[in-house]
Structure 1
Amino acid sequence: MRLTTNMARVGRLAGVGAVALALSACSMGSLFGGGSPSAQLQNASASQAEIAQASTSALPAIATECPPIKVREGGEAYAKYTGSSSIPKNLNFQAVIEKQSRNCVVSNGKITVRMGVVGRLLLGPAGAVSSVNVPLRFAVERDGVALFSEKYDIPVTVVPPNQSEEFVKVVENVEIPYVGGEQITIWVGFDPRA
C-alpha cells in the first residue's frame, strides 16, 4: 500500500515536470533560431543624425561611479567647553555627524555633485547655549589635490526643554571636470579653524 502511494507521487511529479518542460520549449523557439525572421536580432548601427537627436533629448546619465563621501579623520565631532576640556562636566555642547550622502550626474564632461550631511548638536552638563554656529567644511579632492573646499557656519538652535537638535546641510551644483581613471573623494568634517 505504501509503495503504491509513493509510486503515485513520483508519477504526479514526473507529469508536472513533463508539462513544464513542454511549455518552456514552446517559449524558447525564437530564442534558438525558430520563429519569424523579423524577430531575430540583426547587426545595426545608428546614423550620426540619429545619435545627435538622441543625445539632445536624453536626460543626463547618472555617474556609474559617483565619488565616495567620507568624514575626514578628526572632523567627525566638534565640542566646546566652559573650562578645561579634561573635565567632562565642563562640556558646553558637542556636534556630531550622523549621516553623509551624495549623488552625481555626468553631463558635458563634468560630474555635478550634490552632497549633504545630517548632524546633531547635543548640550553638555554645562550647556547654557540656545543658539550655536557649527563650522562644517565640504571638500572635493582629485588625486590628493583640492578641487573644491568651502566652509559653512550652520546655525543650530536648541529650544528648551530639548537637550539636542538635528541639523542638515546640503551643497549643490559642485562641478568636477571628469577625465576618467582619477581618484576623486568627497570629504566632510567640522573645521573650527578661522
Structure 2
Amino acid sequence: MNMNPRSALRIATLSGLAMLLAGCSMGGLMGGGTQSQNTALQNAQMTPAAVAQAQTNALPVIATECPPIKVRTGGEAMYFYGGGRVGDAQSLQYQGVIDEVTRNCVVSNGQITVNMGVAGRVLLGPAGKQSSVNAPVRFAVERDGQAIFSEKYTLPVAIAAPAQSAEFVKVVENVSIPYLGGETITIWVGFDTRG
C-alpha cells in the first residue's frame, strides 16, 4: 500500500501522542517488581474483614473514571484574513484545525491527575505566505460549570516551503483536579484567538 508522506507523518504524530499519554499511566502494571514481591502478590489472600474494610474505603464513582475531553464549540478552528477582509476566501492567509484530543488520568489521594493532549494542523490559504504561525490553544477544566483550571499556550508552527501545512502537538501534564464525588467534570480544549 502506497502512503503519501503527509499521511504517514500524521499517523506517526497521532500515534506518538497516544503513546506519550498511555505511557504516563503504565506505572507498575507492566512488571518491574522483584521476584519475591511478585510471588507475594500472587499468593495474597483477602480475609472477609479486609474485604469489608476495602469496601468502606472505596473511592467515589468519579475517582474511577477519567473526565471526558471535548473541543469547545467555536474553538475547533481559527482563521486569519489579510487586510481586514474577514470571510473573503481569497484573503485567507491561514487557518488552524484541531484533529485529535485525548487525555489520561491517574487517581490517588483525593486527586485526579490528568495529562491532556491535542493534535492539529495549520494550513496556508490563498493569500498565505507565512513560514511560521502561532497557534493559540487553551486547555480548561470545569467542575459543575466552574473553571478550576485554564491555561493558554502559544504553539509555534513552522511551515517549510513548499509545504502548505504543518502539524502541531501539545501535551499538558500533571493537572491535579480535587474531587468529592458526584461532580460533573469536563476537560475542554480549543483555539483561543482572543487577545
1:193 to partner: Cα distance: 1.1
Residue 95 (structure 2) pairs with residue 94 (structure 1): yes
Unaligned runs of 5+ in 2: 1-45, 55-62
* SS in structure 2 of the partner of residue 161 of structure 1: coil
When structure 1 is superposed on structure 2, of 109-118 and 76-85 the one drifting more is 76-85
Q: What RMSD in Å do the two structures reach over aligned CA positions?
A: 2.2
Deviation readout 1:162-182 (Å, 9 max, x if unpaired): 111010000000000011110
Alpha-carbon distance between aligned partners in 1 of 2:166 and 2:108, rounded to the nearest angstrom:
37
Query: What's the counterpart of residue 23 of structure 2?
Result: none
Task: Determine the C-alpha separation between the residues in 2 that align with 1:108 and 1:86.
Answer: 50
> What is the match of residue 186 of structure 1?
187
SS at match of 2:50: coil
- Any unmatched runs of 5+ in structure 1? 1-41, 52-62
Who is 1:44 aligned against?
Answer: 48
Which residue of structure 1 aligns with residue 139 of structure 2? 138
Structure of greater relative contact order (alpha carbons < 8 Å, 6+ residues apart): 2
Mapping for residues 110-129 of structure 1, pairs under 5 Å: 110-129=111-130
How far apart in 2 are the matches of 1:184 and 1:159? 39
Aligned length: 142
Query: Partner of 2:98: helix, strand, or coil?
Result: strand
Residue 68, structure 1, aligned to residue 43, structure 2: no
TM-score between both structures, scaled by the size of structure 2: 0.68
Decide which structure has the larger Cα Rg and report it: 1
- Please report the TM-score for the alignment, with normalisation by the length of structure 1: 0.69
CA distance in 2, matches of 1:110, 1:163: 43
Among the aligned pairs, what percent are the same residue? 65
4+ residue stretches of structure 1 with deviation over 6 A? none
In the TM superposition, residue 91 of structure 1 has moved relative to its aligned partner by: 0.5
Deviations 1:127-180 (A, max 9, x none): 110001111000000000000000000000000011110100000000000111
